[in-house]
């Protein structure tokens, strides 16, 4: 009887290896050979699942996105039904910030992927759609319903993520900056 192969598991194993290589050595170190070695598989197997580096990167970013969505879903579920808008946004953003080792690895990969897309904009349509959807959601939660304010809050989140990854901010500093910005958007009494 032929061996049953779990293709999704293999793809995820390869994507995890890609993310480890990117997080530890930077995106420039990502190659079929390096990823195969990290995953403990042949380069041919990596090529079977991902024909190009762009395909590997897109899949790894999808894994990061899914992990982020799972963290947000779990964190928001703990708030119960109909949480206050400010608390909802703070919880979502906190779940996405790189505040521990696991989320820092995801954050490093996401940051590397954004840099990668800066020189390959044709590879970014999914990211643009995700960003537009998230901006629209955040705008709907803000008291002003302002898309520009939502974009600013998301840009703050990205900047805080970069500063956390680079070590310029501690967790406490990043959360204080987030709270100060939320106070501006919601009023200090909403905290």
Residue 9: pLDDT above 80? yes
The model's pLDDT over 95-151, given as tens digits with 9 standing for 90+, comes to 999 999 889 988 888 888 888 788 887 777 878 888 999 999 999 999 999 999 999
Between CA 109 and CA 26 the distance in angstroms is 8
Mean pLDDT of 76-93: 97
Residue 80: pLDDT above 90? yes
Residue 157: pLDDT above 90? yes
Q: Which CATH number fits domain 60-190: 1.10.10.10, 3.40.50.460, 3.40.30.10, 1.10.357.10?
A: 1.10.357.10
The model's pLDDT over 179-189, given as tens digits with 9 standing for 90+, comes to 999 999 999 76
Residue 190: pLDDT above 60? no
Between CA 183 and CA 20 the distance in angstroms is 37
The model's pLDDT over 28-73, given as tens digits with 9 standing for 90+, comes to 778 889 999 999 999 999 998 888 877 887 777 788 888 899 999 9
Between CA 102 and CA 106 the distance in angstroms is 7
Residue 84: pLDDT above 90? yes
Mean pLDDT of 143-167: 97
Identify the pLDDT of residue 134.
Answer: 95
Identify the pLDDT of residue 191.
Answer: 54
Identify the pLDDT of residue 136.
Answer: 98
pLDDT range class, residue 88, cuts 50, 70, 90: very high
């Amino acid at each position: 009887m032929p061996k049953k192969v779990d293709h999704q598991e293999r793809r995820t194993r390869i994507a995890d290896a890609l993310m480890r290589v990117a997080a530890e050595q930077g995106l420039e170190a990502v190659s079929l050979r390096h990823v195969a070695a990290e995953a403990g598989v042949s380069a041919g197997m990596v090529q079977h699942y991902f024909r190009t580096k762009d395909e590997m990167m897109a899949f790894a970013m999808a894994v990061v996105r899914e992990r982020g969505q799972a963290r947000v879903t779990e964190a928001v579920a703990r708030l119960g039904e109909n949480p206050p808008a400010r608390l909802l946004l703070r919880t979502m953003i906190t779940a996405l910030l790189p505040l521990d080792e696991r989320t820092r690895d995801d954050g490093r990969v996401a940051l590397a992927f954004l840099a990668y897309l800066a020189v390959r904009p044709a590879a970014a349509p999914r990211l643009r759609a995700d960003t537009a959807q998230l901006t629209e959601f955040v705008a709907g939660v803000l008291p002003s319903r302002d898309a520009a304010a939502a974009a600013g809050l998301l840009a703050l989140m990205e900047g805080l993520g970069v500063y956390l990854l680079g070590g310029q901010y501690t967790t406490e500093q990043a959360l204080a900056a987030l709270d100060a910005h939320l106070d501006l958007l919601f009023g200090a009494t909403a905290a």
